[in-house]
Structure 1
Amino acid sequence: MKSQKFILNLLVVFLTSSIASVYAQTKDITLEDIWSGEFSQERMQNLQSLKDGKSYIVQDYDRVSQDMKVEIFSYKTGEKTGTLLSSKAIPGLSVFQTFQLSDDESKVILGTNVESIFRRSTRGIFYVYDLESKELVKIDEEMIQSPTFSPEGSKVGYVKNNNIFFKDIKTNSIVKVTTDGEKNKIINGVTDWVYEEEFSFVRAFEWNPSGTKIAYLKFDESNVPEFSMDLYGNYGQSLYPKQDVFKYPKAGEENAKVSLHLFDINSRRNSKIELGNYEYLPRLEWTQDEDLFSIQTLNRYQNELKLYLVNAETNEPKLVLTEKDNAYVDVTDDLTFLNNNSFIWTSEKDGWKHIYHYAENGNLINQVTSGAWEVTNYYGFDDKSGRIYFQSTENGSVNRDVFSVLANGKNKLRLTRKTGTNRADFSADFTYFVNTFTNTKTPAVYTLHKASNGELVREIKDNSALLNKLDNYNISPKELSTINVNGNELNTWMIKPPNYNPENSYPLLMFQYSGPGSQSVSNTFFGTNDYWYQMLAQQGYIVACVDGRGTGYKGRDFKKVTQKELGKFELEDQISAAKLFGGRDYIDADRIGIWGWSYGGFMASNAMFQANDVFKAAIAVAPVTSWRFYDTVYTERYMTTPQENPSGYDDNSPISHVDKFDKGNYLLVHGSADDNVHVQNTMQLIEALVQANKQFDWRIYPDKNHGIYGGNTRLHLYTLMTKFIKENL
């Protein structure tokens, strides 16, 4: 009898634990979970390699002691080996936000009160701190931009009120390099809005290797039309809105006149470099020769890029390379000058993005990489080993691997082993690299490897805690596959409900971005939106994404087929993909929705208006509604100007198709302070819908930019979108 009772008790315990285990794995994701950071991944802190290549530094803030530190660590062991600086140890400086080391690592620029201007630009109060003498010197009493050490570390160049200055650290004297800077008129040494956004750089001045000359760009934006935004502020702050006014060249309008200049530190002489005809100067870089620097020019069509080498003694430019394309030429940061002034360059001229090696005079030495795959990141050249390090899609367009190859194109080595997405961060001397690996089943894993052969040195950090946490939730796999649409094999992912039954029929929500050269389908783990998709899947929806024509990493022709017709082929592919999915037994063809943000919002709007026989509902967040409203650099790269291509602009504008919006449900969302895709896009579309007497839903988020975030904003937005989907799909 005792034995039977014991067995019965064991059975009760087993059943109880089994039920608890099943219950623990049936937890549903909530929006509050997502936007409270419940599923955040552990990440490597931003590390910076010291020049010895054996150590790296990390900035870290101790909230208890309120001490901002920069700590030194060993690559090989990961152990802390020292403290480079501590705000508590610097008299007169309670804390700093940013730091920048001099080339010889003896001094550091420390930033305080740093505030954002646009996407990449900031301004603040900055100091120079001498790590040996412990002396702290304020660079300027006012807010400045882009402070940068001269290579030998004796001076700091910076921009204030649109003029370039430099401070001599030894004498504490300040020299004004330019004098004509004026808001919304002349900019020296930093870029205007459109260069910052579309050419991805802010500081537009560069020291030569000896610190005796400064090459810089001047922007004359006197004739560029102004754009203004009302800023409403918080309740009770002000009775009247403020207005932000800045220069923004829209498609077909006048750009800033950009010119190249050279300042000689010793003679205090400014000179202008004449470069002939061009529209843009998207890159400026010195060679390793103190009297030779490079400048890249682009025509307005952006289909002809020229590389010049400028003699800083004579101010004479020499054209060494011209890149042409029937569509456009991409501007990159891959140009690297070797110690003999030969240079590394990347190009799509054979139909795929690859690495090339050129002599100083522009003669091709050799094509370093080749094949029906793309170089997706150029990491650099090691002059000791003669090897080039890069990332590519050789293992499939949704995957990334890290490779090295000799400059002559021989002896290529795959340095990463796992299939998925691998990203590398190399030490200064290319001894080591930190690899970040992820795939659809694996959140970020950080490991240290030898750069010579990819050998694992040590494991640094993983996200096993997140995986353990997700074991308690109803998580569905993210399935990667391809579909054949309009004669092309397109990458796609799909998330199905956890209790998926192929005998059932499910509503489908499609997400896409679709912009030129973009990629939304990749072998990576969940991002924030993926948890939202998991939540929708738990509530009985299938979510899918398709990268159609015009997206990237599948060769030049696939990417550039949309030239002069943004929105045409991309929409055809989304419609065809939706029909293909709708033909599957497990998808309800009468309940297919689509959504997107920015370019994706442009696409979702077109899908709703032009294909509401296929799509039942659509959400467009911060959409472009007419490319006439967007900036010159981005828009004309793909569309030329509205004056030359009016049909390309208008035939694919959602505004032109509101009359076809005969059925379905549409939600339109925008931030009122979007300096990128202006709320004007949404207002113009709203007016067209109203005048066509079309019913729809819309929301404006006051004072929110293109990202629409801050406080509870994202939670509110996704609550709104979830409610819309559940009510309409």
Structure 2
Amino acid sequence: MPTTNAHTMRRLLHPYVFLLAFGLPLAGCATAQTPAPTTESAAMPPAIPMRAPEAAPAAELTLQKLFNSGEFYGDGFQGGRWAAEGPELLYVETDRASGASSLVRLDLTDDGREVLIDGARLTKTDGEGLIAIEDYEYSADGSKALLYTDSERVWRLNTKGYYYVYDFASGEVKPVADRARGLQMFAKFNADASHVAFVRDRNLYVVDLASGEEAALTTNGGPGAVINGTFDWVYEEEFGLRDGFRWHPEGDLIAFYQLDESGTRDFTMYDSRTLYPELTSFRYPKVGEANSEIRVGVVDASSGETTLFDTDTWFEGGDETEYIAAMGWTPPLADGGRDVWMLRLNRDQNHVDLLYADPASGAVRTVLQEDVSAYVEVENGFSDTETGTITFLQDGEHFAWRSPRDGYGHLYLYKNDGTFVRQLTRGEWDVTDFHGIDEAEGQIYVTTTARGPLERHLYRVPLAGGAPVQITEQAGTHSVDLSRDFDYFIDTYSNATTPATTALYRTSGDQVSVLVDNDALIQRLAAYDLPAPEFMTVPGADGTPLNAYVVKPRDFDPSKEYGLLIHTYGGPGSQEVRDAWAGNERLWHHYLADTYGVIVAGVDNRGTGGRGYAFKTATQNRLGILEAEDQIAAGQHFAAMDFVDADRVGIWGWSYGGYLTLLAMTYGDGPETFAAGMAVAPVTSWRQYDTIYTERYLSTPQKNAEGYDLGSPVTYAANLRDDQALLMVHGDADDNVHPQNTFAMADALQAEGKQFEMMIYPGRTHGIYEGRGTRLHLYTLMTNFVRDNLGEGAMSMASAAGTQ
């Protein structure tokens, strides 16, 4: 799914989140093979080097500064949602003293500020205190706003809470529904703002705002059974789907998803921190097992009459019609009416159908079909422009379609009836973000890898055809958010030595203003005199050049021998090697280099992103093997360098990176290559993971049992050598990669008489961040492990073997 939103930037309001903005353990990169596009841009702010003036003594990194202080906290742009036109944003501003949260319009060119909703006047009429605005939605005519507050977490996000209607003319505020009836989800106005629909307890409801009367549009929803208007765990986690209903743009019909999870199985987790452990169960379909049944229907909010479409996905169809991964209303078609469009996938996710369903007759027809060699990437848009796999144009006659059919991710133009018109973008590079089409000016706006996979830049491409024009200029990574009228964009920029800065630009490329310069953080970093990571390529197992970076000590001496630690993620389509700010994790790598003489490297194996479809899908149906072979080859390549001690080469990673760490240490030449490894929250058998993610790359165990067995580190537990040091880490409340993965690997190692270290974090989830001091504890643990096994004083593998 897209990483930016065409009208709403994802704001980084917490400083720790800001530091991770370009530093999450993604992975993957590659060599560029692109034409040099035309450049049209104003000069951007120059990168500020991390090295301090020679006269100033370099500051020292410490774990306390990195993981238990605000030393490296930066400033995040407040941001918000674009107004209908111009350089104006709407955002929520909170007064910490009073707790009042107001909706404010900000002119980014002159900082002109207008309060649209005064939070001091938002008194709850059905409770105590003020309404703390967490989100909002305007009615189509702008006369009312829905205010979202008092939210609670569902799976990943706080998607249930309470809604209030604010009337701009009168200033009146009233609740959408009685709080006593329960939390509400995804409330939305109908076309004329006379009604609001929402989901409560897996059923769809509608409220007449004039009378306050509430009516249930579905009644069969419930735990372990039917879900109306929202989704189960796996659809949210892997397809990014949460909000499962859409009002007709002009009428009283609501299109909605319906799932039936009765055939799926519970996964139970326990919290052992209480006297009697507390159990939590949720439906989690593991590979090869039953998914929730799914279909789409329409309900008339005025009469309650419901039509459910026969999409061959509801207790029928088999693996050929398994998922409905996106849905919405078409523009008016030839008959003047709107249909409901849907994207249907088979279970292996290598075939997609674009379906149209007539809400009057219930008839379903196939408009477009596409088969790919490996897997379809369904891009779910998170904005009202629907810049996902399919984007309907404002002309009412065409849609843009994203596809890898020519070997790279590009855009294609179709008529609304499915007739192919032409390819819109073309080249040996991927469109990574589609920001929309300015139809009036005939320009397509996309972020691409045309300057190479290590960078991301904004381009405009003529809708009628022609060469792309590069808009952003400075080398590095640009995350952009275009205004609704396509006249402006906000650019959040970073590179490997410069944390994110944010500026406002016209789409001509001219800079209007700097919104966040992060100068204070940049100057603090300069005091540490950190050398820039060195980018290079290293040979993969089959000789393919792989993108890599290396972090060396400040006082690097090529005549010395250093230990080396490879940081990996390596999962499908990811990238570890990017010219982007990588936050505290990368700073920790600098700390290891300076404090313990351990060089840190990152390598993007085959299967990672930014290099086209063939490179990204090379691991299809044999997940883990090629990735491990490439990491082993990279380890051997580095070990052959004069300044690397071949007996002190290690590897570490988190999640997929933890999985790859275990596999690289035990498969093939891995035991002879890696002296030590740290696997955090690792998958150890893909049989333990969910259907949608895993089967996209491996198919089902019933079809590809060999792929599952060969790609499991458990299979190779006996290969761990006595002179290899292994640390496994897991949070026991991890609902994503369940801790049973680590326990399965531990069981296999114990059965083979292999010694290893293991740390369990009670009550912590996949990110292992909850609780005071958790991150400091984790990184202290890993630092000590690196020091003892790869540091300058560590005993070499050969020496250790001789003492056994």
- Find 1:114's aligned residue among 151, 170, 182: 151
Secondary structure of the equivalent of 2:662? Answer: helix
* 1:498/1:538 contact within 8 Å kept: yes
CA 1:119–1:91 in structure 2 vs 1: closer, same or farther (change >3 Å)?
A: closer
The residue type equivalent to 1:698 in the other structure is M
Structure 1 residue 155, shift from structure 2 partner: 2.3
Match of 1:626 among 663, 680, 685: 685
Match of 2:741 in 1: 681
**CA 1:32–1:24: 2 relative to 1, 3 Å:** farther
Q: 1:312 aligns to what?
A: 359
Task: Tell whether the 8 Å contact from 1:41 to 1:463 is kept in structure 2 after alignment.
Answer: yes
- Report how far residue 727 of structure 1 moved: 1.0
Q: Displacement, 1:462?
A: 1.2
Q: Structure 2 matches for 1:530-569, cutoff 5 A?
A: 530-539=586-595, 540-569=597-626
For structure 2, list consecutive stretches of 5 or more residues without a partner in the other structure.
1-51, 381-387, 791-804
Aligned residues: 704
Q: What residue number does 1:240 align with?
A: 276
After superposition, the C-alpha distances for 1:587-641 in whole angstroms (9 at most, x for unaligned) are 1111011000000000101122231211011000100000000000011110011
Are 2:190 and 2:196, in contact at CA under 8 Å, matched by a contact in 1?
yes
Residue in 2 that maps onto 1:176: 216
Alpha-carbon deviation of 1:131? 2.5
* CA apart distance, 1:52: 3.1
Query: Which residue is equivalent to 1:32?
Result: 64
1:562 CA displacement: 0.4
| Alignment-mate amino acid for residue 299 of structure 1 | N
SS at the partner of 2:673?
coil
| Residue identity matched to 2:741 | N
Contact preservation (8 Å) 2:412, 2:424 = yes
Mean alpha-carbon deviation: is it higher for 603-612 or for 590-599? 603-612
Q: Give the whole-Å Cα distance in 1 for the aligned partners of 2:142 and 2:605.
A: 47
Question: What is the distance in 2 between the residues matched to 1:615 and 1:518?
Answer: 23
Kept in 1: contact 2:102–2:133 (CA 8 A): no
- Contact 1:387 / 1:407 at 8 angstroms: preserved in 2? yes
**Matching of residues 120-131 of structure 1 within 5 Å:** 120=157, 122-131=159-168
For residues 465-480 of structure 1, the aligned pairs below 5 Å read: 465-480=520-535
Counterparts of 1:636-647 in structure 2, within 5 Å, are 636-647=695-706
Question: Match of 1:693, SS?
Answer: coil
**Is 1:405 aligned with 2:461?**
yes
Question: Equivalences for 1:477-516 in 2 at 5 Å?
Answer: 477-485=532-540, 486-516=542-572
Quick check: 1:209–1:288 contact (8 Å CA) kept in 2?
Answer: no
Equivalent position amino acid for 1:712 in 2: G
Aligned AA (1:25): P
Query: 2-side partners of 1:381 and 1:316: how far apart?
Result: 31
Instruction: After TM superposition, give the deviation of residue 47 of structure 1 in Å.
Output: 1.6
Q: Is the 8 A contact 1:509 1:592 kept in 2?
A: yes
Taking structure 1 as reference, are residues 225 and 342 closer, same or farther at Cα in structure 2, changes over 3 Å only?
same
Which residue identity lines up with residue 656 of structure 1 in the other structure? T
Which amino acid counterpart does residue 94 of structure 2 have in structure 1?
Answer: Y
Does 379-388 or 251-260 show the bigger shift? Answer: 379-388
Q: 1:456 to 1:373 in 2, by over 3 A?
A: same
Residues 391 and 400, structure 2, Cα contact 8 Å, conserved in 1: yes
Q: Residue 229 of structure 1 contacts residue 244 of structure 1 at CA under 8 Å; is this kept in 2? A: yes
Q: Distance in 2 between matches of 1:350 and 1:719?
A: 47
Distance 1:436 1:104 in 2: 32
Task: Give 1:652's match in structure 2, choosing from 695, 707, 711.
Answer: 711
CA contact (8 A) 1:24 1:473 kept: no
2:675 maps to a residue whose letter is K
Task: State the structure with bigger RCO (CA 8 A, min sep 6), 1 or 2.
Answer: 2
Deviation at 1:51, TM superposition (A): 1.4
1-structure distance, mates of 2:422, 2:702: 41
Q: Which moved more, 1:61-70 or 1:261-270?
A: 61-70
Structure 1, residues 434-483: CA drift from partner, whole Å, max 9, x if none?
111111222212121112x2222222221221121112214121112222
Q: Relative to total residues, which structure has the larger strand share, 1 or 2?
A: 1
Residue 225 in 1 paired to residue 285 in 2? Answer: no
Q: Aligned pair in 2 of structure 1 residues 411, 471: CA closer, same or farther (>3 Å)?
A: closer
Pairs within 5 Å for 1:276-675: 276=312, 277=317, 278-289=321-332, 291-333=338-380, 334=388, 335-338=390-393, 339-410=395-466, 412-451=468-507, 453-485=508-540, 486-539=542-595, 540-610=597-667, 611-662=670-721, 663-675=723-735
Helix, strand or coil: the match of 2:671? Answer: coil
Query: Residue 400 of structure 1 aligns to which amino acid in structure 2?
Result: R
Match of 1:100 in 2: 136
Code of the residue aligned with 1:463 in structure 2: it is N
Shift of 1:46: 3.3
1:83 aligns with 2:140: no
1:687 partner letter: D
Paired AA for residue 539 in structure 2: N
TM (norm. structure 1) is 0.94
Corresponding position of 1:7: none
Q: Tell me the percent identity.
A: 38
Which residue, out of 747, 770, 776, partners 1:715?
Answer: 776
Could you tell me how far 1:21 is from its partner in structure 2?
7.7
List runs of 5+ in structure 1 lacking aligned partners: 1-19
Residues 137 and 188 of structure 2 are in contact (CA less than 8 Å); yes or no, is this contact kept in structure 1?
A: no
C-alpha deviation, 1:259, in angstroms: 1.1
CA contact (8 A) 1:72 1:83 kept: yes
Counterpart secondary structure, 1:217: strand
SS at the partner of 1:648?
helix
Once the 2 structures are TM-superposed, how far is the Cα of residue 39 of structure 1 from its aligned partner?
0.8
CA distance, structure 1, for counterparts of residue 552 and residue 214 of structure 2: 63
Q: SS of 2:255's equivalent?
A: strand
Match for residue 272 of structure 1 among 308, 315, 321: 308
RMSD: 1.7
> Aligned partners of 1:21, 1:528: CA distance in 2, in Å?
23
- Counterpart of 1:33 in structure 2: which amino acid? K
